[in-house]
Chains A and B, each alone.
Chain A
Amino acid sequence: MPQLRRTLGKAQGALPALLVLGVFFFFPFLEVIRFSTWRWSGLSQPTPVGLANYRELFADPIFLQSVKATLIFAALTLPAFLTFSLLVALALEGQRYERVVKGILFLPGLVTVGAASTSWYTLFAPEYGALASFLPIPAWDQAPFWAMIMVVAFTLWRYLGYGVLVVSAHLKSIPRAVLEAAMVDGASGLEVTRYVVLPLLRPAVLFLTVVGTVLALQSYVAVFLLTRGGPYGATRVLGYLIYELGFENFRLGYAAAVTVVMLVLTVAVAWAQGRLLEER
């Protein structure tokens, strides 16, 4: 008993936070499973339909297309995110302007996403855009490929600063002696980077890969703001599909089933994240 009381005493401070998370996180987390067995428009009374939503889901071409769009999005975003984070962090290391540049690169991630997308839109729109009159802007409102590139570029723009910070923090923890030893052994600057620094950055790359994957699963605000899933569903990633099904088609039960699939994926990735990060 005294043991239990001590634990409770320690935990007291966490109660308000736990209460909020309980009502607005854990409870919805369980509720969504129940919702996913309903046919429900959000306005009318729900009808229980068992597993019908799931059966429909796995045969739904729109869902399958959305899975494909999400994978393409991740396959384009992740390598570019990792490459640029590494390149910029390495190029910045030890420069006089390092701090200033990091501050600037971090800015897009913080500022108003709606404003940022508006600015992108007015700049890059193929017909009304400011650049369209003197640069050949691809018609990304009609070409599925370019629409995807646009969403990827916007996402990279927003998160590059974060990636650079992560790599840079790890770079700083590499002891100078290691680099100097390699130099003494006759390695060139490029060789040191390739054979000494990059392998030592493995944990940072691993961390960014996992964070990036979770982000890729969840990046749909950019889609909502720039392309609305179009053209022809080419950029309708899973996160956006949930919004569209639930709140534009008013099929909340069906959207809940997609949410469950997303949650399973996210939890699996987060679990893998825990495992990978423990190894470092």
Chain B
Amino acid sequence: MRHAFVWGIVALVLLPFLWMAYAAFLPPEIVYSGDLRSGIGFTWENIQKLAPEGFWGHLGFSLIASGAAALLQLATGLPAAYALWNGAPFWGLFLFTLAIPAELLLVPLYGVLLGLRLLDSPWALVLPFAASPFTIMLIYQGLRGLPFTLVEAARIDGAGEGRILFGVVAPLLTPNLIAAGVLAFAAHWNLVLFPRVVVGERFWTVQVWIADLARRYPADWGLLSAAALLSTLPLVLIYLVFERKIVETFEGSIKG
């Protein structure tokens, strides 16, 4: 009974993924017939059709933008978490920001970016996400698992704070940094409304682009699935590689 229940849920959760992978290679005849039972087939056509729609450009741009945001979050998050670990009194402040996602501030952020003359530039997608309380929290969780005597010993040996942070602490924290980086990347990758609002079509991320494609070709399962599959693949691959670490980091952050 419990096995059936669990695997039933797993099947339902996986269904959209399996469908995506299947439909991406579905020949147009089957798609146009509108009936899945009309046959089976395999084709690369859908993927080839993505290029003229501009898929690869948006995908590449998304990779760069999300990658930059994730790296910046690690670069600002590591020293911030280190400062918290040393007793800097900002914990409450970060917790407060944690409750409110950037997308809720869509309207005022638009105004601020307008004032800074950053609208419709790639910076509008990256700078607001250069620091994230969530990333800081995940790194801080990792730091709390390390013995603080490590830092004290390094201080007695005369190492500067920068040296301690990057030479001693960071290497021990690599797994947490990777997990935090992947989650930061995924969170940025999944923004839809924000990029749609602050930049024009030129700088649309792949998410916004797919949402638009779905409006233009609502019935072309093959084309849509090919785009969906290829835009999901980078994240799924990263996730599969680091899955254990990510789930553990997450569980750690829940236990607090």
Smallest CB separation, B101 vs chain A (Å): 6
Smallest CB separation, A118 vs chain B (Å): 4
Chain A residues with Cβ below 8 Å from B183 are 110
**Alpha-carbon separation in the docked complex, A107 to B221 (Å):** 22
**Alpha-carbon separation in the docked complex, A121 to B210 (Å):** 12
Interface residues of A in 124-153 (CB under 8 A from B): 125, 128, 130, 133-134
Chain B residues with Cβ below 8 Å from A220 are 103, 193
Chain B residues with Cβ below 8 Å from A177 are none
The verdict on A252 contacting B13 (CB below 8 Å), with A7-B88, A114-B192, A220-B193 known, is: no
Evaluate contact between B16 and A120: CB separation under 8 angstroms: yes
Evaluate contact between B6 and A10: CB separation under 8 angstroms: no
Determine if A67 is an interface residue (Cβ-Cβ < 8 Å): no
Contact among A110, A122, A218 with B23 in the assembled complex (CB-CB below 8 Å): A122
Determine if B172 is an interface residue (Cβ-Cβ < 8 Å): no
Chain A residues with Cβ below 8 Å from B2 are 91, 95
Chain B, 96-114, contact with A by CB distance < 8 Å: what is the 0/1 string?
1101111111111111101
Chain A, 253-280, contact with B by CB distance < 8 Å: what is the 0/1 string?
0011001001100110110011000000
Additional pairs, 19, CB under 8 Å, beyond known A99-B247, A113-B192, A117-B214: A12-B83, A12-B161, A17-B79, A20-B128, A21-B97, A27-B112, A28-B112, A84-B9, A107-B17, A110-B183, A110-B235, A112-B232, A122-B19, A122-B224, A125-B218, A134-B36, A169-B251, A218-B103, A266-B100
Evaluate contact between B90 and A24: CB separation under 8 angstroms: no
Determine if B25 is an interface residue (Cβ-Cβ < 8 Å): no
Nearest chain B residue, comparing its CB with the CB of A123: B19
The verdict on A115 contacting B23 (CB below 8 Å), with A14-B90, A35-B107 known, is: no
Evaluate contact between A115 and B88: CB separation under 8 angstroms: no
Point out residues on B near A: beta carbons under 8 Å.
2-3, 5-6, 9-10, 12-17, 19-20, 23, 34-37, 75-77, 79-80, 82-84, 86-90, 93, 95-97, 99-112, 114, 127-128, 130-131, 133, 136, 161, 165, 183, 186, 189-190, 192-193, 196-197, 206-211, 213-214, 218-219, 221, 224-225, 227-229, 231-232, 235-236, 239, 243, 246-247, 250-251, 254-255
Determine if A221 is an interface residue (Cβ-Cβ < 8 Å): yes
**Alpha-carbon separation in the docked complex, A111 to B246 (Å):** 14
Nearest chain A residue, comparing its CB with the CB of B189: A112
Evaluate contact between B13 and A157: CB separation under 8 angstroms: yes
Q: Which 10 A-B pairs have the closest CB atoms?
A: A13-B79, A115-B228, A28-B108, A270-B99, A13-B83, A20-B131, A32-B108, A114-B207, A17-B80, A24-B128
Evaluate contact between B211 and A111: CB separation under 8 angstroms: no
Smallest CB separation, B254 vs chain A (Å): 5
Smallest CB separation, B166 vs chain A (Å): 11
Evaluate contact between A24 and B102: CB separation under 8 angstroms: yes
Tally the A-B contacts, defined by beta carbons under 8 Å: 282
Most chain A beta-carbon contacts within 10 A, residue among B90, B108, B239, B247: B108
Chain B residues with Cβ below 8 Å from A224 are 192-193, 211
Chain B residues with Cβ below 8 Å from A92 are 6
Evaluate contact between B107 and A242: CB separation under 8 angstroms: yes
**Alpha-carbon separation in the docked complex, A264 to B95 (Å):** 16
Evaluate contact between B86 and A10: CB separation under 8 angstroms: yes
**Alpha-carbon separation in the docked complex, A104 to B255 (Å):** 21
Evaluate contact between B235 and A122: CB separation under 8 angstroms: no
Chain A residues with Cβ below 8 Å from B131 are 16-21
Chain B residues with Cβ below 8 Å from A13 are 79-80, 82-83, 86, 88, 161, 165
Determine if A54 is an interface residue (Cβ-Cβ < 8 Å): no
12 contacting pairs across A/B (C-beta < 8 A): A14-B90, A17-B76, A20-B127, A20-B128, A24-B127, A107-B239, A110-B239, A116-B228, A160-B13, A162-B250, A269-B99, A273-B99
Most chain A beta-carbon contacts within 10 A, residue among B12, B16, B112, B235: B16
Determine if A214 is an interface residue (Cβ-Cβ < 8 Å): yes
Chain B residues with Cβ below 8 Å from A107 are 13, 17, 236, 239
Smallest CB separation, A123 vs chain B (Å): 5
Contact among B109, B161, B197, B213 with A28 in the assembled complex (CB-CB below 8 Å): B109
**Alpha-carbon separation in the docked complex, A249 to B37 (Å):** 43
The verdict on A14 contacting B105 (CB below 8 Å), with A110-B186, A118-B228, A121-B218 known, is: no
